[in-house]
Structure 1
Amino acid sequence: MKLFAKVILCLLALPALVMCSADDKKGQVTTTKLNPYLADPTIFAQNGTYYLYGTKGDPNIPGEGFLVYTSTDLEIWSGPAGLHDGFAFKKGDGYGDTGFWAPQIFQHNNKFYMAYTANEHIAIAESNSPLGPFTNVGNPIPSDGKQIDPFVFFDNGKIYLYHVRLDDGNRVFVAELEDDFSAVKPGTLTECVHATEQWENTQNASWGVTEGPTVFKSGSLYYLVYSANDFRNPDYAVGYATSSNPTGPWVKQSGSPIISKALLGYPGTGHGDIFYDAAGAMQYVFHTHFSTTTVEPRKTAIVPLSLNSGVLSLAPGATITWPGVE
């Protein structure tokens, strides 16, 4: 981008600039770079490069789909770098014409795949590059109802689709996928978790929310990391459950969430994904509200996690890294 155009863009987005000092609120960092403003973010790492995707929120960038940014240090990002006008997947590349939410990127058999939500259904697109363009023939995974927030997980020769079904609340389910990702296998759909704890529904809403699942395995245990409360609620937060089987039953971590406004000092903390940095440390990318009074555009953030003696938590002394786009 030419310098003049970059200056104009920055002037237009001045309200969105993050400008603070090391003495400010816990977790803030000194930067004047623009946050990418991706909600429901995910980071895919390969060969020393990190690829950041999410639900687009920056009003200065038109279009629908999934932008992608790249970085080598998790702090300074370039882009949008997608091969379709900055998008890794843009409306028209496959299924969906509205509501492009919560992508996940994975690699399988030398191809890259994007599982995503559009029109409150789940679809999977493929590409030869993490930059896209990801494409599909225009069909979602068949379902008897609305489903969002996909996470594809491979384990012992099986492929699992963790996702959220909109049925008497946002509830996290899992089902086995066919080998070609075209459909779930009949008879394998199982509920994992729904909102039952006090921290998961601080407004006592009739429609409880658990969403944004991420799954990993450590030793003999499977960890299901999820967010709870409506995303517009300042108490939006992240907890987890464990199981000895990828389909459950799941036992929730007792007590409080592991990522929350109370722990980090920012409202609306949640709906992200776990990834590992170049040193092998576990990180969680997520979003926060824009401010204490405004939800949108949601800001992208990263914090380190630790797993000690089977307990998942914020890493000791963890502070927020705010990605900044050059």
Structure 2
Amino acid sequence: MINPVPKHLRKNKQQRYKLLMVALAVILLISMTLAVMIGPVPIPPLRVWQIALSQVFPNVTGDWTQAQVQIVWLIRFPRVLLAFFVGAGLSVVGVTMQALVRNPLADPFILGVSSGASVGAVLVIVFGVFSFFGVYAISVGAFLGALLAFVVVFFLARRQGRLRSTRLILVGVAVSYLFEAITSFLAIKAGSGEATRRVLFWLLGGLSGTKWTDLILPVLALLVGLGYLLVQTRSLNALLIGEETARTLGTDTDSFRKQLFLVISLLTGVIVAVSGVIGFVGLMIPHSVRFLVGSDHQRVLPVSLLLGGIFLIWADVLARTLVAPEELPIGIITALFGAPFFIWLMQGKEGGR
């Protein structure tokens, strides 16, 4: 018989979780402030928020210059916010994928989902596919590409109704290479000029040139996806334990998997459409969060969202300051952190066998 967790321990655990969320919220506020301040033209922290408030409340006035308004409100603030939402979205996708395939190595980059989304986006850029969707064409193309890649990986990795970790990773890497090859071929077909430059953007990932309008779809997709996942935390917990357990607890696993396919593909597609392919965030953040708060998705999802957003804000700061005035692709920064983490995680799994 399994003894229930004592009430005082549950209370202490809940208090620690609340303190963690408050701490992350404070760190997020500080990170956003510093990220807007840092740049070729430094802006004092108080002025950052005075300018931001003046754009929301016209009666707020001060002695800042119009150039500072342009830098803070039109250049840095939307970029920092997009970094947060992209990092948050990739982390949420990573949490969901790891529950769906029951593998801590699952990540939209490693399993080829990001590469599939990139192919869909590049098809729109180079050949004008889905152009009838107007400004949303790239997001639609990326969503369909991500969905296709995820379905291919999932079904190729299944053997006799079971998913094996090693097979899943190998199939994911193979599919990722396949879609990257297709993307490279499309880049060659694009020739030289603006189309080629945009294709390279999808391959490397970056947040430069972010406008306020770029935030609309990522924010909406994240709100919808996160809202759905928070409602389904019980089913996610059951699925992480095992398919038989999930069925025993009343979860229609086949239907639930299809819904998760759509959520993962939607979030990945929208994120890739605005930021390009950024790897390893969905691997590192969820795995780290489970060390902090356990495996209950009711806690893992919100903490992953905040921590992933904070991480990518600072990754973007490094990308634009390490070799200033040049700017590094943000995917290089996340890979510098993510590749060693992936190797460490692989060694841990091998050692635990």
What TM-score bracket applies, with the shorter chain setting the length?
under 0.3
TM-score by length of 2: 0.22
State the TM-score, normalized to the length of structure 1.
0.24
Identify the structure with bigger relative contact order (alpha carbons < 8 Å, sequence gap 6+). 2
Larger Rg: 2
